[in-house]
Amino acid sequence: MKPAPFDYFRPVSIGEACAFLAANPEARVLAGGQTLIPMLAMRLARPSALVDVTRMRELTGIDLAGDTLRIGAATTQAEALDSALVAREAPLLRLALSNVGHPPTRVRGTIGGSIAHADPSAEIALAATILGASIVYRDGDEEIRFEPVDFFIGPTITTAPPSGLLTHVAFPRRPKGRVGAGFREIAARRGDYAVASAGAQVVLHGDGTCASIALGVGGVGDVPVNVDLSELDGTPFAFDRVAGVVAAALADLECVGDLHATASYRRRAAIQLAMQAIGDAHAVAMEDAA
Amino acid sequence: MRVPLTVNGTTSEIDVEPRITLLDALRDLLGLKGTHTGCEHGVCGACTVLADGAAVRSCLMLAVQCDGIAITTIEGLAPGPGELDVVQDAFCETHGLQCGYCTPGMILAASGLLAKNDDPTDHEIRDALSGNICRCTGYGQIIEAVALAARRLRQNNLRPALDDAG
Amino acid sequence: MTVVSRRFVSTDRRVREDRRFVAGSGRFVADIDLPGTLHVALVAAQHPAARIVAIDGAEALAMPGVIAVLDGQELSAATNPMMNGLDTPEVKRFPLAVGQNRYAGEWIAAVVAESRRLAEDAAEKVRVEVEPLGFVIDAEEAVSPHSLPVHPRHGSNVLLDRTFTWGAVEDDFSRSEERLSFRVTWGRSSTVPIETFGVIARWDPWSGILDVWASIQMPKYADQIARALKLPGNAVRVHYDVDVGGSYGVKRGIKQTVLAGYLARKLGRPVRLIEDRLENMRAGDAHGPERIFDVEAAFDRDGRVNSMRMRALDNAGAYAGRAPFQLGKPIGAIVGPYRIKSVEYRAMSVTTNKTVQEAVRGFGQSPTNYAIESMMDRVADHLGMDRLDLRRRNFIRADQFPYLIPSGSTYDSGDYHAVVEKVVAAAGYEALLAERDRLRGEGLCAGVGLAACLEPSGGNSSFEPLLNEKNRTSTWMESSRIIVDALGDVTVNIHTTSSGQGHETLAATVVGEVLEIDPDRIRVVRPDSLASLPGNSPVGSRMAVMLGGAASNAAKDLKRQMLAITANRMKVPVGDLVYDGGDVIGPGGSRLGWSDIVEIAHRRFHELPPGTSPGLTASFIQQVPTGVALPKDGKVQMYPCYSFEFHLVLLSFDPVLAKPEIHRYVIGHDCGTVINPHIVKGMTLGGIAHGIGAALLEEFVYDAEGQLMTQSFLDYLMPSTHEIPPVEIVHHCTPSPLTEFGQKGSGESGYLGAPAAISSAMQDAVAPWRVTLDRLPIRMSRVSDAIAAAQEEGVTSQ
């Protein structure tokens, strides 16, 4: 299991990377490599060259930019998981990250690499979808921003520009109100690709009524799916009522069946995990004094 | 491509094709056979090394990516010939191994954990080792070894005293 | 009861092998660099069955660094077919497919190059023209007379179809008050060591010796290579000082070694074939049993099980090998720990277009135990009896040993009731049931599982003559040699490789025990196969019994020589002497020290007693304690020693997600006298983990097109730290009367009962929904879907 030959290029700037990608259509961006390198080893991917962005300063770092939390594409999952900023501003992302792979893969694996790869069961993509993050590419001199729902269009298929470089992901900052997040997933082994996952962010008003419930499920179909629960906005949080709305919203969820789980399992699991995630999120929100 | 590789404190320049993984470079070019090949697709953890102190899979890094990163392999742990470090000794004490094939990766994953956290819970130990598959032991004596090593690290007087800081 | 005081046996000493492994200083086959070594990559078949029309290696050969492309035609013309266990001469097997391939992934050509990556680059360029053929994947389909035969010249897919009747089965069935029948299926899984199989072969034309370094665990390995390569036995030199990165049965490597050996001879350079993970999973020929059991039980209303009919249909894959014998070993414990009076057993092995099977830990015993224990659970359920009470009622009692079972084996010793009572006390069986009910009250599925089974140990191979009358093997030996050098230091030779079992510790411990010297002062080495006494490698849980026996008997011989030298020197009868920690004490307290005796043995030949050889050495070739007879009337003593284990498990899961969490796992284990407690503990815990994998996660799955779907570690799921719970071990010791220290085997412990125990617990957990789980591995999706279907039909868990 040795990769087929390829060239290796390590650009220092976004411009240099974009120029190389434009000139080499068979080249691929190498970030953490935790998914790409196994594909190379199995010769399922045969790029002409790898453009290693792991050390590009412009692509790393976590900071606040206006009303967003900006995470550089080459920021590792481990850094993001350990980041106090992430914990404060995007607690759902933090929970999602703790479910990504295993500690050694998070040390190398990146936020942007996971987004760009667009595995249907990827936790970071699901969190980005639920939170409505912006996925920001540079293509030549042009900056292109994608909403997740427009970006993830199929299993490992995105609308990313072919010669573009994912530079960062901008997550909305923590909303006002009492905020709680929950993230649940199921796989035969913890740390494997989830056969179903769900994340929720519950925002409550001071009196405990729902300001909003953002819910998404992943791993069940081709792309992460947002679930519209806006009919609950402004209502008192009642678990049974929420359960009814969630079950109805997911009743016709498109699910795939494979070796690891049937489609019907995935659908039921998605509903169950969604309710668990909402329950977790609600419990945290109730404790949140803000 | 020529790349300076810093392994166990020594830097040597190697000449590799870009497709050579860190794992293969360690074994074939530097002769460090303690890092083992298990699956070559990033699941089993047998090839685990430390990169700047954190456990990583060496089959999922290219050698050309590794300049400027301090790599530690199992050969870099022992304080001297025939001497074991605390984690290695704990694995011997509890018999946290059988065939020895996953063992270097397991010990480095444990070392990566203990460098950050010398009082890990059972769950934290399991989580840190969850990416390393062992087919012999069922993990029981491995987890005992890591807990024992943590206890010994806490009890030894090699670490900076905290009491001065109040 | 006499208390035996021992210095080293059963004491909590470190395992000596561990030092080199924790330092990364093990010497595995892939670590061996010979100058000028060539590397092999394989070309794999795409179809499950296809006629090979042409193989064109020209483009590959033209690539830089590529030395050779070998196909099955050339290789089969130059070599003998590999050995079959059964008498199936038309099921011919060569390392590379000849004329047609018989499973997807089978090796059809080998590419040899200066590096592995160049060999892989070139393997992509080998052009293979094929005509796809019909194929069969399913065992029941394969057994049908209308099925396409995988080997047309063999005439059918049936490799083995033997029915044994032991005892008055018909009478026992007709006299019994109740009967039930059921089917359970053991899915295809294996041991999947983290080190793949690897071999390096080097031919020296000047000495005419083929040197072999391999990650091997195979009885008579050197003989088989020599036979296949048409070499004299003494032209194959296997280096036993290679550490093996796990095996648990599967590392047999004949085909890989024949291929590498042939290439090394042909090319005049060392050749290295280290399987990569895809080669290993698809075509390392190391899958395990895949077995359908149809079982019928006859029993009385008081819970006594009188008789059993079992049909075991095993899907052997594309070639025969030794794997069908895995239907034979379970005959040695076909009634488990129970007093079942009669058994009818039909053993069927069929070829299909799947990867070839190899021996897996327990050699077929764990699947059979799963079937037997499923039967006990179902009988209890049928009668409304507690499953534990049912087992207690049927266990062989301690006062009944030695106990002859219907199929001809005598169990050496045991106290099953005592072990079970210890476990019940340790786990608090009633409290466990109460906890289960509490969890159920929370809306979870919760189950208590239990399994009792035997570990036949000390392996010989009586199943060979039993299933193949042309095979007249009655015993399997193991050997050891001890040398005391002129400085008085002790070296023990063992004549096998090890794959984690701690044989160096075992040998040093027992020799130290007999000679009363510190085992840490004893060196243990492994000569190569040409310098070794005969042996049969660590299979069948045999080394505590067999290597332990050989080493301790050699040490006893050495002690005998020392006493004779002393008697001669002191001019007293041997009977007046006492051996004491390496010295010998004579009448009146006179003492001849170890170094004096060594001095006499090595230098002062004139002081040696008549008939004593100079130099203190001793060799012992141990035969299996009971391995002296061939089968008669379909009955045979299979293995000599029988360890016992009893598993008790509590688990629960959410009825929708159905991912079990194991809350409690207690095992009671009796393997007689334990030589090294760390090793036995590790074997048991590791076996349980492997068993949990087989029960819940691991399977080689094929799709309808005959393609293996689980060929990487992304899909073949082995348990991690998250899936394996803490396990409590409860010890009991019933020494074997057949061995030096009372030891029995433990190399397969845990694995033999864990799948049955997990299955039992899962079944208990879903019982309220009237769902039946009858197949391993038990996938969470299957459980959840079954519960959902039951709920839709209106079944409630109350």
The per-residue pLDDT for range A236-254, each reduced to its tens digit, is 999 999 999 999 999 999 9
pLDDT tens for each residue of C390-440: 999 999 999 999 999 999 999 999 999 999 999 999 999 999 999 999 999
In chain C, whose CA is at the least distance from the CA of A197? C657
C552 in the same domain as C431: no
pLDDT tens for each residue of C662-683: 999 999 999 999 999 999 999 9
Chain A residues 79-108 within an 8 A CB cutoff of chain B: 101-105, 107-108
Nearest to A188 among C277, C697, C709 (CB): C697
C511 in the same domain as C419: no
Q: How far apart are CA C390 and CA C305, in angstroms?
A: 9
With beta carbons less than 8 A apart as the criterion, state whether A84 and A64 touch: no
**CA–CA min distance B162, chain A (Å):** 24
Report yes or no on C174 lying in a domain.
no
Q: For residue C403, which of C734, C168, C730 has the smallest C-alpha distance?
A: C734
In chain A, whose CA is at the least distance from the CA of C718? A189
Average pLDDT over residues C764-777: 97
The residue out of C587, C622, C657 marking a domain boundary is: C622
3-state secondary structure of C34: coil
Q: How far apart are CA C734 and CA C730, in angstroms?
A: 13
Q: How far apart are CA C497 and CA C538, in angstroms?
A: 8
C774 in the same domain as C744: yes
Q: How far apart are CA C311 and CA A132, in angstroms?
A: 59
C703 in the same domain as C604: no
C744 in the same domain as C682: yes
Report yes or no on C471 lying in a domain.
no
In chain C, whose CA is at the least distance from the CA of A185? C657
A168 in the same domain as A183: no
Instruction: Calculate the alpha carbon distances from C743 to B68, C100, C292, C514 in Å.
Output: 55, 49, 34, 15
The CATH code of the domain that includes C773 is: 3.30.365.10
Report yes or no on C154 lying in a domain.
no
User: β-strands A178-186, A165-172: how paired?
Assistant: unpaired
A143 in the same domain as A22: yes
3-state secondary structure of C671: coil
Choose, out of A54, A102, A119, the residue to mutate when testing the contact with B (most B CBs < 10 Å): A102
With beta carbons less than 8 A apart as the criterion, state whether C130 and C55 touch: no
Instruction: Calculate the alpha carbon distances from C265 to C115, C221, C260, C275, C679 in Å.
Output: 18, 18, 9, 20, 40
Question: Which residue do the tokens 């141990």 mark?
Answer: C622
Which chain B residues are closer than 8 Å to A33 by Cβ? 60-62, 65
Between CA C116 and CA C128, with CA C122 as vertex, the angle to 5 degrees is 130
Q: How far apart are CA C93 and CA C358, in angstroms?
A: 14
Judge: A108–B57 Cβ closer than 8 Å, yes or no.
yes
A154 in the same domain as A69: yes
Two tokens at C423? 């476990």
A183 in the same domain as A167: no
The mean-pLDDT minimum among C181-185, C321-325, C402-406, C753-757 falls in C321-325
**CA–CA min distance C192, chain B (Å):** 8
A140 in the same domain as A182: no
The residue out of A153, A174, A195 marking a domain boundary is: A174
Which chain B residues are closer than 8 Å to C243 by Cβ? 99-100
The residue out of C622, C645, C661 marking a domain boundary is: C622
pLDDT tens for each residue of A213-242: 999 999 999 999 999 999 999 999 999 999
Residues 6+ apart with CB under 8 A from A43: A3, A4, C120, C124
C221 in the same domain as C100: yes
Residues 6+ apart with CB under 8 A from C164: C331, C343, C344, C345, C346, C347, C407, C634
Average pLDDT over residues B108-136: 97
B103 touches chain A (CB under 8 A): no
Write down the mean pLDDT value for chain C.
Answer: 97
For each of the domains in chain B, give its residue range(s) and CATH number, in order of start: 2-76 (3.10.20.30), 86-155 (1.10.150.120)
Residue C459 has pLDDT above 90, yes or no: no
Two tokens at A97? 């990250």
Judge: A189–C701 Cβ closer than 8 Å, yes or no.
no
Which chain C residues are closer than 8 Å to A262 by Cβ? 781, 785
3-state secondary structure of C500: coil
DSSP C538-564: S-TT-HHHHHHHHHHHHHHHHHHHHHH
DSSP A37-55: HHHHHTTS---SEEEE-TT
A168 in the same domain as A79: yes
With beta carbons less than 8 A apart as the criterion, state whether C279 and C42 touch: yes
Q: How far apart are CA C460 and CA C457, in angstroms?
A: 9
With beta carbons less than 8 A apart as the criterion, state whether C536 and C219 touch: yes
Nearest to C720 among A42, A191, A264 (CB): A191
A158 in the same domain as A183: no
Q: How far apart are CA C290 and CA A8, in angstroms?
A: 46
For chain A, which chains pass the contact test of at least 3 CB pairs under 8 Å?
A: B, C
C442 in the same domain as C537: no
Q: How far apart are CA C797 and CA C481, in angstroms?
A: 64
A51 in the same domain as A93: yes
Residue A289 has pLDDT above 90, yes or no: no
Chain B residues 11-70 within an 8 A CB cutoff of chain A: 17-19, 21, 24, 40-42, 45, 48, 51, 54-57, 59-62, 64-65
Q: How far apart are CA C644 and CA C726, in angstroms?
A: 21
A162 in the same domain as A188: no
C682 in the same domain as C774: yes
Q: For residue C298, which of C483, C487, C407, C169 has the smallest C-alpha distance?
A: C169
Q: How far apart are the first and last CA of chain B?
A: 52
Number of separate domains in chain C: 3
Return the number of other C-beta atoms located less than 10 Å from residue A231's C-beta: 12
With beta carbons less than 8 A apart as the criterion, state whether A96 and A131 touch: no
Judge: B112–A103 Cβ closer than 8 Å, yes or no.
yes
**CA–CA min distance C506, chain A (Å):** 36
Q: How far apart are CA C213 and CA C272, in angstroms?
A: 9
In chain B, whose CA is at the least distance from the CA of C244? B99
Q: How far apart are CA C755 and CA C757, in angstroms?
A: 5
Determine if the peptide bond prior to C660 is cis (ω within 30°).
no
- Specify the length of chain C in residues: 798
With beta carbons less than 8 A apart as the criterion, state whether C154 and C350 touch: no
Judge: B130–A103 Cβ closer than 8 Å, yes or no.
yes
What pLDDT does C3 receive?
A: 59
User: Quick one: residue B121, left, alpha or beta (phi over 0 = left, psi -120 to 50 = alpha)?
Assistant: beta
A186 in the same domain as A42: no
Question: What are the φ/ψ torsions at residue C527 (nearest 5 degrees)?
Answer: -65, 165
Report yes or no on C169 lying in a domain.
no
B153 touches chain C (CB under 8 A): no
A164 in the same domain as A79: yes
Q: How far apart are CA C116 and CA C124, in angstroms?
A: 13
Band of pLDDT at residue C5, cut at 50, 70 and 90: confident
The residue out of C590, C622, C654 marking a domain boundary is: C622
3-state secondary structure of C791: helix
Band of pLDDT at residue C616, cut at 50, 70 and 90: very high
Report the percent of chain C where pLDDT is more than 90.
95
Residues 6+ apart with CB under 8 A from C1: none
Return the number of other C-beta atoms located less than 10 Å from residue C567's C-beta: 19
Which chain B residues are closer than 8 Å to C18 by Cβ? 91-92, 95, 97, 100
Number of separate domains in chain A: 2
pLDDT tens for each residue of C193-207: 999 999 999 999 999
DSSP chain A: --PPP-EEE--SSHHHHHHHHHH-TT-EEESS-TTHHHHHHTTS---SEEEE-TT-GGG--EEEETTEEEEETT-BHHHHHH-HHHHHH-HHHHHHHHTSS-HHHHHH-BHHHHHHHT-TT-HHHHHHHHHTPEEEEEETTEEEEE-HHHHEEETTEE---TT-EEEEEEEEPPPSSEEEEEEEEE-SSTTSPPSEEEEEEEEE-TTSBEEEEEEEEESSSSS-EEE--GGGTTSB--HHHHHHHHHHHHTT------SS--HHHHHHHHHHHHHHHHHHHHHHHHH---
Angle between helices A123-131 and A91-98 (to 10 degrees): 170
Report yes or no on C403 lying in a domain.
yes
Average pLDDT over residues A260-264: 96
What pLDDT does C279 receive?
A: 98
- Positive or negative torsion for Cα A91, A93, A99, A101: negative
The CATH code of the domain that includes A113 is: 3.30.465.10
With beta carbons less than 8 A apart as the criterion, state whether C69 and C126 touch: yes
The residue out of A150, A174, A198 marking a domain boundary is: A174
Judge: C246–B129 Cβ closer than 8 Å, yes or no.
no
Q: For residue C263, which of C126, C67, C99, C128 has the smallest C-alpha distance?
A: C67
C765 in the same domain as C741: yes
DSSP B18-56: TT-BHHHIIIIIS--TTS--S-SSSSS-TTEEEETTEEE
Two tokens at C772? 């039946």
**CA–CA min distance A165, chain C (Å):** 28
Which chain B residues are closer than 8 Å to A108 by Cβ? 51, 56-57, 60-61
User: Is ipTM strictly over 0.95?
Assistant: yes
The CATH code of the domain that includes C253 is: 3.90.1170.50
Q: How far apart are CA B16 and CA B1, in angstroms?
A: 5
Nearest to C679 among B33, B84, B95 (CB): B95
Report yes or no on C178 lying in a domain.
no
User: Quick one: residue C384, left, alpha or beta (phi over 0 = left, psi -120 to 50 = alpha)?
Assistant: left
Q: How far apart are CA A144 and CA A167, in angstroms?
A: 10
Interface of A with C (CB under 8 A): 1-5, 38, 42-43, 186, 188-193, 195, 259-262, 264-265, 268-269, 271-273
Q: How far apart are CA C563 and CA C574, in angstroms?
A: 6
A288 touches chain B (CB under 8 A): no
A124 in the same domain as A50: yes
pLDDT tens for each residue of C318-372: 999 889 999 999 999 999 999 999 999 999 999 999 999 999 999 999 999 999 9
Give the domain range for residue A262.
178-287
Return the number of other C-beta atoms located less than 10 Å from residue C301's C-beta: 12
C710 in the same domain as C571: no
In chain A, whose CA is at the least distance from the CA of B131? A102
Residue C32 has pLDDT above 50, yes or no: yes
In chain A, whose CA is at the least distance from the CA of C122? A4
Helix-strand-coil percent breakdown of chain C, rounded to 5?
30, 25, 45
Give the domain range for residue C500.
18-23+477-622
Question: Which residue do the tokens 């080394």 mark?
Answer: C543
Nearest to C784 among A43, A259, A268 (CB): A268
Question: Which residue do the tokens 């290789």 mark?
Answer: C75
Report yes or no on C685 lying in a domain.
yes
Two tokens at C642? 């029988």
pLDDT tens for each residue of C111-136: 999 999 999 999 999 999 999 999 99
Q: Is C108 exposed, middle or buried (0-12, 13-18, 19+ CB in 10 A)?
A: buried
C396 in the same domain as C488: no
Residue B166 has pLDDT above 60, yes or no: no
Band of pLDDT at residue B164, cut at 50, 70 and 90: very low
In chain C, whose CA is at the least distance from the CA of B91? C22
Helix-strand-coil percent breakdown of chain B, rounded to 5?
40, 15, 45
Report yes or no on C788 lying in a domain.
yes
